[in-house]
């Protein structure tokens, strides 16, 4: 398997630290609002990564954090506190907001058939671990104390920009006119490990610490949660490309300063979902959530299908017209696969043709998760001349990775399929009668009509069968 490593900026052969086992960390949601569909695109691709690794034989241990303590709007130490913002917006406590939107996030994941990680860790459950971590960095000389806050001094960590590849001499902290720059930092890129003083006088989440009552900086949770659950080194760290310049850069600095070891072997990043205004987010344009798509008539798995027809390392331009086309294609695909729902039992071995299709599917996924090509192979299965049970077997196996629910037929869809099947059988009967009467024109007309609807007739010595083209 080959994966693109953001650290080396190249495709690399995937070889985990421990043979046969994969340790993986994925940056989870900040639970102050619903996830927007741009966030969910990343989680869909991460889900494919996990399921692909399992498909080719690895045991995957995936850890994900839930940010339920103040995360600022910027990856730097600036902007509004998202959790506090959510609480004020809804007139709830931050704890109530966090609980509600955590549940909402996992409900979205369920609808998108995104597998729950092995470990889901709430940031607020690790406060004492953060304190131990900061004390460790303090003892090693990587921190300084100013204005009541503990800062990480990036000048003490060699290779701070090795992931971002940015020039530190020209790198400036993103600044908005309404955001006050922290004048207590020695370097603009230094970041807070523990706050006791900030512009948020009424911060709701605070804990006792050696530096005073306060709360952790945002970057620390991913480092500590991964170290606690996966050890000092791990195979894959996932996230969106927007995490590269600051969040993941700061994670590397503090983690490797603490352990003295290279931390992550492969850095995996998903590109943005974009619209006419640029990167899709909660603050730009219409706030698109999975429930809003549902209100507009789009099924969650139509969106998953839409996402999987793009590569995770390419920006995906979103429009409702393109989603409409994807939903139409997805529904047509399900109509074609539904007829194989109960046929996969009893396969003892695959023919060489079926095995070739299976290998092509595996190769597509092993090629840096080329899900679009993997879906193409799925269509190749449907068009192939392998046996019907073999098709059912391969569809079932492939859907174990793609997770498009291809072999589940809804009751309403089953009724439609039953009516459609009855109509097709009636047309075949009329064609047989026409052929017996040597009315070849009528027989050909019936065949052509069925073909125009995507239905192919197959004449065999035992009679006529049919399939969707």
Binding residues: 27, 222, 247, 251, 282
User: Residue 184 contacts by C-beta under 8 Å, 6 or more apart in sequence?
Assistant: 146, 147, 149, 151
Query: Tokens representing 40?
Result: 């969910």
Whose tokens are 């639970």? That residue is 31
For every residue of 388-429, DSSP letters joined together read HHHHHHHHHHHHHHH---TT---HHHHHHHHHHHHHHHHHHH
Instruction: Find the DSSP H helices in 146-216.
Output: none
Which helix (H) or strand (E) segment is 327 a member of? helix 320-338
Q: How many angstroms separate the CA atoms of 339 and 406, rounded?
A: 10
Q: How many angstroms separate the CA atoms of 387 and 245, rounded?
A: 51
Q: Which residues are annotated as a binding site for Zn(2+)?
A: 27, 222, 247, 251
Task: Return the SS3 of 384.
Answer: coil
Helical packing angle, 371-383 and 300-308, nearest 10°: 100
- Rounded to the nearest 5°, which phi and psi values hold at 32? -115, -5
Query: Tokens representing 285?
Result: 């344009």
Q: How many angstroms separate the CA atoms of 234 and 76, rounded?
A: 25
Query: Tokens representing 24?
Result: 């993986």
Dihedral sign of CA atoms 28, 34, 39, 42 in order: positive
Q: How many angstroms separate the CA atoms of 256 and 237, rounded?
A: 14
Task: Return the SS3 of 80.
Answer: coil
Q: Which residues are annotated as a binding site for ATP?
A: 282
Helical packing angle, 127-139 and 249-259, nearest 10°: 70
- Please write down the HEC assignment for all residues of 5-71: ECCCCEEEECCCCECCEEEEEECCCECCCCCEHHHHHHHHHHHHHHHHHHHCCCEEEEEEEEECCCC
């Amino acid at each position: 398997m080959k994966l693109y490593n953001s650290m080396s900026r190249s495709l690399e052969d995937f070889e985990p630290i421990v043979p046969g086992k994969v340790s993986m960390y994925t940056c989870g949601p900040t639970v102050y609002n619903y996830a927007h569909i741009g966030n969910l695109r990343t989680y869909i691709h991460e889900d494919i990564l996990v399921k692909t690794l399992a498909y080719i034989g690895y045991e995957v241990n995936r850890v994900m954090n839930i940010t339920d303590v103040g995360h600022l709007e910027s990856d730097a130490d600036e902007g509004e506190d998202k959790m506090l913002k959510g609480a004020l917006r809804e007139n709830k406590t931050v704890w109530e907001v966090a609980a509600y939107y955590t549940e909402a996030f996992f409900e979205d994941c369920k609808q998108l058939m995104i597998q729950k990680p092995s470990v889901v860790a709430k940031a607020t459950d690790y406060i004492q671990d953060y304190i131990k971590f900061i004390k460790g960095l303090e003892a090693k000389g990587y921190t300084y104390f100013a204005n009541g806050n503990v800062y990480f001094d990036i000048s003490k960590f060699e290779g701070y920009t090795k992931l971002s590849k940015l020039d530190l001499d020209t790198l400036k902290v993103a600044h908005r006119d309404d955001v006050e720059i922290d004048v207590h930092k020695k370097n603009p890129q230094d970041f807070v490990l523990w706050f006791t003083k900030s512009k948020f006088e009424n911060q709701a989440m605070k804990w006792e610490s050696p530096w005073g009552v306060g709360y952790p900086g945002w970057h620390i949770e991913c480092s500590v949660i991964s170290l606690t659950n996966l050890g000092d080194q791990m195979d894959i760290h996932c996230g969106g490309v927007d995490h590269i310049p600051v969040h993941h850069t700061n994670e590397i600095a503090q983690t490797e300063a603490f352990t003295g070891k290279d931390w992550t072997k492969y850095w995996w990043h998903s590109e943005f979902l974009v619209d006419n205004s640029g990167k899709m987010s909660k603050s730009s344009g219409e706030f698109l959530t999975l429930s809003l798509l549902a209100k507009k008539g789009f099924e969650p798995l139509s969106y998953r299908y839409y996402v999987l027809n793009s590569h995770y390392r390419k920006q995906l331009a979103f429009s409702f017209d393109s989603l409409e086309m994807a939903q139409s294609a997805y529904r047509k695909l399900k109509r074609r696969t539904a007829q194989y729902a109960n046929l996969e039992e009893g396969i003892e071995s695959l023919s060489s043709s079926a095995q070739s299709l299976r290998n092509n599917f595996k190769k597509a996924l092993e090629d840096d998760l080329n899900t679009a090509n993997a879906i193409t192979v799925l269509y190749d299965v449907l068009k192939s001349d392998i046996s019907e049970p073999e098709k059912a077997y391969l569809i079932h196996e492939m859907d174990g990775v793609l997770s498009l629910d291809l072999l589940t037929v809804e009751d309403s869809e089953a009724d439609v399929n039953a009516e459609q099947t009855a109509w097709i059988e009636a047309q075949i009967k009329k064609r047989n009668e026409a052929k017996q009467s040597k009315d070849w024109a009528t027989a050909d007309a019936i065949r052509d009509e069925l073909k125009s609807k995507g239905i192919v007739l197959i004449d065999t010595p035992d009679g006529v069968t049919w399939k969707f083209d």
